[in-house]
């Protein structure tokens, strides 16, 4: 589907919020006009990927972390902007501050991505929810 041929209002008919529609258009425009070369990201280091993606309206650290983990299969990513990850670390390790959470996550390097999967699994299991597997 070519997002750019749709107005933001038309995109909203797909149950996408006005803000997310705006972000989808910004990402589509960046790819179309060559500002962002998605195919080149897999050859770049994490810092380079972050620097390029953060420039796109609507793409923040959480989105970049998830992209690095799932699309580029980076082994050492922990999305500390993810409420499930943060709440699970707080619960399991009885910590409250950002500094404590970061210190704990440093113990899992260079396997933070695997730790993230375990933390998500714990979060879902504790709430009697099943992970969605595609």
> Dihedral (C-alpha) 34, 58, 69, 124: value to the nearest 10 degrees?
-150
Q: Which two tokens stand for residue 70?
A: 């799932």
Question: What share of residues in the chain are helix, strand, coil (percent, to 5)?
Answer: 60, 0, 40
- Non-local CB neighbours of 125 within 8 Å, separated by 6+ positions: none
Among residues 27, 67, 69, 82, which one is catalytic?
Answer: 82
Please confirm, yes or no, whether 37 is among the known catalytic residues. no
Q: Which residues are catalytic?
A: 82
């Amino acid at each position: 589907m070519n997002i750019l041929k749709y107005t933001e209002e038309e995109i909203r008919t797909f149950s996408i919020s006005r803000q997310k529609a705006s972000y989808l258009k910004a990402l589509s425009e960046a790819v179309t006009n060559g500002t962002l070369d998605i195919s080149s990201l897999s050859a770049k280091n994490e810092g380079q990927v972050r620097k390029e993606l953060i420039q796109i309206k609507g793409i923040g650290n959480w989105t970049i972390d998830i992209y690095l983990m799932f699309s580029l299969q980076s082994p050492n990513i922990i999305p500390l902007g993810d409420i499930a990850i943060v709440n699970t670390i707080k619960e399991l390790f009885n910590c409250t501050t950002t500094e404590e959470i970061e210190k704990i996550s440093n113990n899992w390097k260079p396997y933070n991505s695997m730790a993230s999967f375990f933390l998500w699994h714990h979060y879902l299991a504790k709430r009697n929810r099943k992970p969605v597997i595609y």
